Structure 1
């Protein structure tokens, strides 16, 4: 009873503090709306959803509405089901005013989404009613060309990572205390990884020595190049050393990767449920010690798991490991790296909305000075204070009294740790990464040649997008299904040769040609 009363008292105090300290727009920054209501479709971030069940319960979204003078009625799809839910929504013909979605992956591309009357071409609206975004893009032409379609149309209010240090945040993670206990080095090569996983299983009795995300599609956790990259390929499109577009699953290195993971699965080194691992099950495996190695984020992984496991074992330690290579001394060819513009978190406006101007003004807020602080740091006096000219997170974020992990607390008051219509500030990361292991991760995981082999965010024409989507829908499904079957042992490794033949029959050479044409246009801009 005493514990319950203390928790209630803390919550009431936090609510009062939030109300008292909420920052109103300055006299020079008028609210974007007049109290009208916009419908807003989006999936709630997992860290926020682990604390509050809906958008309206999250302080950030309450404050955003207050600042802009626009009321938002949220339409929230089930967790991890945004793609399925958006298809149902589009088929209904009745869309909300604002839709937050990865529009670059829309079948036929954003150009077709505009032509089919789903979303607005935003050029004129941005020019007239979005001075903050317009000013930013004028200063950053290299980003400006990334957020437009092939015909020059703006289609979303984008999420932009404003510093090169923000572009790598994911990589291999292992239990350092287990390595110390077993007398093993931090693994760098595929052989060292194998030795480590075998030791985890045989000497420590670990049920699933390595686990990684298997949703929303099989092998999702290695798509940035983990393990498969040791064989010189990626699971998707990439550039070779001469700037030519390649598709990894039809290259010889992919067969070697499948053979490796088939062996590891048979030896019990990979999670037996690898096809269904989501973020919640991955968290549970790493926190409980069911697994000791994975590929995940410095924040949502190392930063979230470490405080929890150290309550039970003060020696417990998660550390970043380099992306694996075949031979000692090699430099990883691939690794997680993103461009400044990410299509995730892009916010579009329904083509038939009668409140488009209000929506544009509201969405532009995140690119201005006040919005920049709100989206990256939250509410002054509550989630951050100003120390000189530097916004500094309070203990509510970094040492939360209710034992929320920093990732969870941050998701309550800002959008810095995930996507949205704003420019991400590197000062968020410098504070969010509180642990040495997290700061080390930025260095370790960035030590790759990923920039050299990344396919830029090239834009296709409507026709190219339609053709590419039709090809890749079948190709991706086939690659995912056959890769999983080979790894699980239900198909022989030799089935890979038939996989390549089928992928080519589905038109992968044409898909590569489309990517190369788009790349040529992109490089000529």
Structure 2
């Protein structure tokens, strides 16, 4: 399974939409929360409602072949809960456009599931009354989620908007699940052995090893068919691994464009630092010599998977190639020492993924019931169902009480990988979901021995939890000041990052690049971000 890191990291603010939206409904309490049909609600246990209810839901899905209206997960949960969801689903690639169109037209459903709303969306639509505030509902009807907020104050801080309200249920990656939080790319140990090389310890070593992989026939087939470093998730996968080697993001990647000036708690803008320039120069060197897959800026995960499965890459920024591509011989690469002596793994969060993975709108007829419905996915039994499925069908229980997927999932007779096989029954592959990911019930690649070993060798170089700053929460007014500015800046940074790496733009233009960003309103953004951070303290 591949966690969708681009959503976990949240690289840019979403565009604020100009919408004509309804105000609070007549059954709205002073808190802004709605009251549904309480008489039909069971306070605890299953079923959630005494009589069956139907709810209109919208969701993003990773596999086009899935029909959520005829999927075992939702059919079985309906039997348990007495709640039937009429699902409308879209592919993740078109999610942003589709959900924005629904909101702009006022043609939105009662619930949004796996829809990855940003903080900007949550505070904007929350204060407009389109998204319901959830604080009181959580207090009364979400004991599992409330327990997590009490256990992890940093997560509670992250989901609580600047107005003190919570508008969405997030993805939480259990902070104790180390191999899900950290991990280096995978390097082909067999190729290293064939060439008499050691796994790289520095960025200079990495260049030499990748060059040797490409030129010296490490697979011993007499052909120059080997490739260096590849990923199907964009250049950011590669950049994240190297950030700490270039002294960047020593406060983690919850606010990926920001870290502190040395010895202070004053923000600087990472993409205009000298260290970021050094990182791009290094990647330009790799790219122009063909040591990174040339289609890294355009390929998609499933397309890249077909290429990677050939076993021609010496290094992969994916999950364990043995689990994903059935390729043996890969081991976790080391955290590298960079040109300035930095050696740290900083691509880390506090375990909080996207905040807006489950949202109730003002059209919800039974908000209490739906909060109970989603809260089940944050508890032990619900997590087990969501990630493992159903006994005798997708998993079996061992004599010692542990559970594991059945062989038709782990060694599918039709040649499907684990993600594909489990998606005949469940929805978690692709990383779009509310709930908590725990090592007990998550049996994707990150929970396997190889990934655990990879994480263990990264941890001595990883940030400590107290060093990681939670995501910044802005007021509506602050969003109004920075959202458009940051969106434009981020678009420009992404374009120029690609141009510098590919050589389309010369590094002689670096100062012009910095001046352009400054003219786009960088200082205003930094001032607002600093204020939000100071307020959070």
- Name the TM-score, length of structure 2 as normaliser: 0.80
Displacement of 1:413: 4.8
Aligned residue number for residue 17 of structure 1: none
Find the partner of 1:29 among 38, 45, 58.
Answer: 45
Find the partner of 1:199 among 194, 201, 212.
Answer: 212
Stretches of structure 1 that go unaligned for 5 or more consecutive residues are 1-25, 310-315
1-structure distance, mates of 2:526, 2:236:
21
Q: Which aligned pairs between 1:15-414 and structure 2 lie closer than 5 A?
A: 29-33=45-49, 34-45=51-62, 49=63, 52-101=65-114, 105-106=118-119, 108-166=120-178, 167-204=180-217, 205-206=224-225, 208-213=227-232, 215=234, 219-223=235-239, 225-234=240-249, 236-241=257-262, 242-298=264-320, 301-305=321-325, 307=326, 309=327, 316-326=328-338, 332-343=343-354, 346-387=357-398, 390-396=401-407, 397-413=409-425
Task: Give CA deviations for 1:135-156 in whole Å, capped at 9, x if unaligned.
Answer: 4434544432222111211111
1:229–1:333 Cα contact (<8 Å) kept: yes
2-structure distance, mates of 1:87, 1:344:
17
Q: Which moved more, 1:354-363 or 1:89-98?
A: 354-363
Displacement of 1:421: 3.0
2-structure distance, mates of 1:454, 1:495:
33
Q: Which aligned pairs between 1:456-475 and structure 2 lie closer than 5 A?
A: 456-475=470-489
Stretches of structure 2 that go unaligned for 5 or more consecutive residues are 1-41, 218-223, 250-255
Displacement of 1:304: 1.1
- SS in structure 2 at match of 1:31: coil
For the aligned residue pairs, the C-alpha RMSD in angstroms reads 3.0
Find the partner of 1:448 among 457, 461, 464.
Answer: 461
- SS in structure 2 at match of 1:459: coil
Question: Aligned pair in 2 of structure 1 residues 435, 98: CA closer, same or farther (>3 Å)?
Answer: closer
2:117–2:356 Cα contact (<8 Å) kept: no
- SS in structure 2 at match of 1:73: strand
Displacement of 1:510: 2.2
- SS in structure 2 at match of 1:149: coil
Displacement of 1:288: 1.3
1-structure distance, mates of 2:395, 2:324:
20
Displacement of 1:436: 3.9
- SS in structure 2 at match of 1:269: coil
Task: Give CA deviations for 1:336-383 in whole Å, capped at 9, x if unaligned.
Answer: 322232126620011233232332222122234432321243223333
Task: Give CA deviations for 1:430-477 in whole Å, capped at 9, x if unaligned.
Answer: 785575422211213334343476432232211222322222101111
1:200–1:206 Cα contact (<8 Å) kept: no
1-structure distance, mates of 2:444, 2:118:
33
Task: Give CA deviations for 1:178-222 in whole Å, capped at 9, x if unaligned.
Answer: 22222221122111111121112212324642222455xxx3323
Task: Give CA deviations for 1:453-507 in whole Å, capped at 9, x if unaligned.
Answer: 6432232211222322222101111111112112222211111211111111112
1:379–1:413 Cα contact (<8 Å) kept: no
Aligned residue number for residue 452 of structure 2: 439
1:486–1:495 Cα contact (<8 Å) kept: no
Displacement of 1:109: 4.5
1:416–1:428 Cα contact (<8 Å) kept: no
Displacement of 1:411: 4.7
Instruction: From the two aligned structures, give the one with the greater helix fraction.
Output: 1
Question: Aligned pair in 2 of structure 1 residues 255, 286: CA closer, same or farther (>3 Å)?
Answer: same
Question: Aligned pair in 2 of structure 1 residues 29, 214: CA closer, same or farther (>3 Å)?
Answer: closer
Task: Give CA deviations for 1:139-178 in whole Å, capped at 9, x if unaligned.
Answer: 5444322221112111112222234224514431122222
Q: Which moved more, 1:334-343 or 1:477-486?
A: 334-343
Task: Give CA deviations for 1:96-115 in whole Å, capped at 9, x if unaligned.
Answer: 11113565625x34221212
2-structure distance, mates of 1:155, 1:473:
22
1:339–1:457 Cα contact (<8 Å) kept: no
Find the partner of 1:505 among 519, 529, 534.
Answer: 519
- SS in structure 1 at match of 2:514: helix
Question: Aligned pair in 2 of structure 1 residues 203, 376: CA closer, same or farther (>3 Å)?
Answer: same
Question: Aligned pair in 2 of structure 1 residues 139, 491: CA closer, same or farther (>3 Å)?
Answer: closer
Displacement of 1:332: 2.8
